[in-house]
Amino acid sequence: MKKILFVDDEQDQIFSVKTGFDTEYPNEYEIIGAESGKKCFELLEKNVKPDLILLDIMMPKMNGWEVFDKLSANQKYKKIPVIFLTARSDGLAANAGAMIADDYIEKPVDINELRNRIEKVLKNAKK
């Protein structure tokens, strides 16, 4: 089972992705929710080892860019693939997100499309 850590300050986003994966792809994915950057790092420090991180950009206190920078600066976490999954749709964010992360997806996203993009990133990460 693949572990996906989904970092988003909106609980309903985490719930809908988790429910979608549980319904469409039972027993393939474990979606672990973290409602903040701080919670993300707490889970990682507790040895939650995700195969991939879905990361929202617009969050209070520690935004997605800051979380990404902190992940990238840490030897233990910098190899974890990251996909930005965000409602932010401006060109600057999309270009920057696509350049620094493994992928950039705008919300709302179809659950099947999200799975396909996750699988593509995981396949590329194994190379």
Question: In Å, what is the CA distance from 111 to each residue of 36, 40, 116?
Answer: 22, 22, 9
Regarding pTM above 0.85, the answer is yes
> pLDDT tens, 35-73?
999 999 999 999 999 999 999 999 999 999 999 999 999
Buried b (16+ CB within 10 A) or exposed e, 27-41: eebbbbbbbbbeebb
Question: Is residue 94 very low, low, confident or very high in pLDDT (cuts 50, 70, 90)?
Answer: low
Question: Is residue 99 very low, low, confident or very high in pLDDT (cuts 50, 70, 90)?
Answer: confident
Extents of the domains making up the chain: 2-126
Question: In Å, what is the CA distance from 59 to each residue of 37, 43, 64?
Answer: 8, 17, 7
Residue 56 in tokens: 């929202």
Q: Averaged over 70-79, what is the pLDDT?
A: 96
Question: Is residue 80 very low, low, confident or very high in pLDDT (cuts 50, 70, 90)?
Answer: very high
Fold of 2-126: Rossmann fold (3.40.50)
